[in-house]
Chain A
């Protein structure tokens, strides 16, 4: 499920694949991603695209994600 889509990068984060490991949040230089308040269907904490407009589409988050949860188009 795409949370939010940026006009510039089209970043999408699938909250049902996400396990909240935070490796993407840590690697993002522009603070586009942040932990969500709730949990997903699996009961896991997850990450949301909080500031899609700031995303440059560099793809570092995609490279670090162990769960193929982020897509940049």
Chain B
């Protein structure tokens, strides 16, 4: 991580995930050969915090940009970093087709259940009953549909080799997230295909909770809609 303090709100999960990526790249000694693609969303400025090469893509298009980079520079470690609005709404096509092509890239998917950057609107991942600025009376399945489980959808694609859903609610879960990120990068280095880690992450500001309550909400509520664990590739990988 660079020295610059981040612009994230107190207790935001992006900061934890940013740091874990840096720790993994340091431990694997990969910083000099990494290219990250940052999304549109709260983490749009990730390149201000990461001390390795990072570019920026149009909203939801990071997997397409990462595809191009990886195909031109196959010896680089290329990963996308995306929020749930970016990945599961406007970028649904890009992520699914990158997975389906078995593109040899990694995706770190930070799911906080809202559009954080634009003010807390409903995302496809917003839970039933959750209040957001566009569902002020709370999300209703009959009107707004159901929380979209991208990982479970992608598990059926042959090109996708590893999918794991983790969270950052405790040191134990933070360690699991770090291990999952590492595994995803190892799979890419072994040229096995597409892999993705979904991190259930708190947005205290737009959940209207304090940081501690936000972590408890993930443990008690969010994991019911988005179960943790390896979704694909349990026995896979180097």
Q: Does the CB pair A67–B15 fall under 8 Å? A: yes
Distance between B168 CB and nearest chain A CB, rounded to angstroms: 8
From B15, B175, B212, contact of A66 by CB (8 A): B15
The B-contacting residues of A in range 18-50, CB under 8 angstroms, are 19-23, 26-27, 42, 44
Q: Does the CB pair B1–A68 fall under 8 Å? A: yes
Please tell me if B238 contacts chain A, counting CB pairs below 8 Å: no
> In the bound complex, how far is the Cα of B168 from the Cα of A27, in angstroms?
13
Q: Does the CB pair B211–A67 fall under 8 Å? A: no
Q: Does the CB pair A67–B6 fall under 8 Å? A: yes
> In the bound complex, how far is the Cα of B9 from the Cα of A64, in angstroms?
15
Of all chain B residues, the one with the shortest Cβ separation from A69 is B5
Q: Does the CB pair B170–A19 fall under 8 Å? A: no
Q: Does the CB pair A67–B215 fall under 8 Å? A: no
Distance between B197 CB and nearest chain A CB, rounded to angstroms: 17
Q: Does the CB pair A66–B1 fall under 8 Å? A: no
Distance between A26 CB and nearest chain B CB, rounded to angstroms: 5
Contacts A22-B211, A23-B211, A26-B212 given: A66-B5 contact, CB under 8 Å? no
Contacts A16-B5, A27-B171 given: A66-B14 contact, CB under 8 Å? yes
> In the bound complex, how far is the Cα of B13 from the Cα of A65, in angstroms?
9
Q: Does the CB pair B171–A66 fall under 8 Å? A: no
Please tell me if A51 contacts chain B, counting CB pairs below 8 Å: no
State the interface size on chain B (CB cutoff 8 A). Answer: 23
State the interface size on chain A (CB cutoff 8 A). Answer: 18
Contact with B along A4-20 (1 / 0, CB 8 A): 00000000000011011
> In the bound complex, how far is the Cα of B8 from the Cα of A20, in angstroms?
12
Q: Does the CB pair B10–A20 fall under 8 Å? A: yes
Distance between A4 CB and nearest chain B CB, rounded to angstroms: 20
Chain A contacts of B175 at CB under 8 A?
63
Q: Does the CB pair B5–A21 fall under 8 Å? A: no
Q: Does the CB pair B15–A60 fall under 8 Å? A: no
From B1, B10, B14, contact of A19 by CB (8 A): B10
Q: Does the CB pair A60–B171 fall under 8 Å? A: yes
Binding site for B on A (CB under 8 A): 16-17, 19-23, 26-27, 42, 44, 60, 63-68
Can you name 13 extra interface pairs (CB under 8 A) apart from A21-B204, A23-B11, A66-B12? A19-B9, A19-B10, A21-B211, A22-B211, A63-B174, A63-B175, A64-B168, A64-B171, A66-B15, A66-B16, A66-B19, A67-B5, A68-B15
Binding site for A on B (CB under 8 A): 1, 5-6, 8-16, 19, 168, 170-171, 174-175, 204, 210-212, 215
